[in-house]
Amino acid sequence: MPNYRRHLVPGGTYFFTLNLLDRRSRLLVDHIDVLRAAVRTVRARAPFHIAAWVVLPEHLHCIWTLPPDDADYSGRWHALKTLFATAMPPTEPRSAARLRKGERGIWQRRFWEHTIRDDRDYAAHMDYVHFNPVKHGLAARAADWPYSSFHRCVARGLYPEDWSMRSDDPPDPGERR
């Protein structure tokens, strides 16, 4: 089994990107209730704080903070992806390798993870998460996309309602502000 180089920080805050195997799919938004139920189940078993989340048709981005003594985000993602996949009817095409391993053909096997370094990095990734539906042409404004924590952030005073209309340039989390 491969040994991926993951940066594990107990109590760390992380940015994640997960993709469906079929990047033309709408599975995540078409079955948003199943995804939300999977998140609730995983959080009940292995808590984490959700700072931001956006679900697009075929991928998602989020920012989590784990408990102080815990760095096992991979286990949480494995459980979440498994719960979501097992709730879907097995209609997707599967490669011979996936069939041999008993895997579904819903999610890409890996995910992108980035450890948040500081407040500026956190702010850049928050902006990236919330701007993503605009970036992909799914909404004119962040406020127009229903599958996002943006609305919760507006209610908490973190963003103005018209935030994504203030700039034509999508935020780049790799750029230091």
Q: Catalytic residue among 122, 128, 147, 159, which?
A: 147
Look up 159 and say whether it is catalytic: no
Buried b (16+ CB within 10 A) or exposed e, 15-50: bbbbbbbeeebebbbeeeebbeebbeebeeebebee
CA distances from 68 to 71, 72, 158 (A): 8, 11, 25
Cα dihedral 164, 139, 170, 165 in deg (nearest 10): -20
Distances (CA, A) of 172 to 70, 115, 126, 146, 176: 28, 15, 10, 22, 9
- What is the DSSP pairing of strand 112-115 with strand 59-65? unpaired
Q: Which residues are catalytic?
A: 147
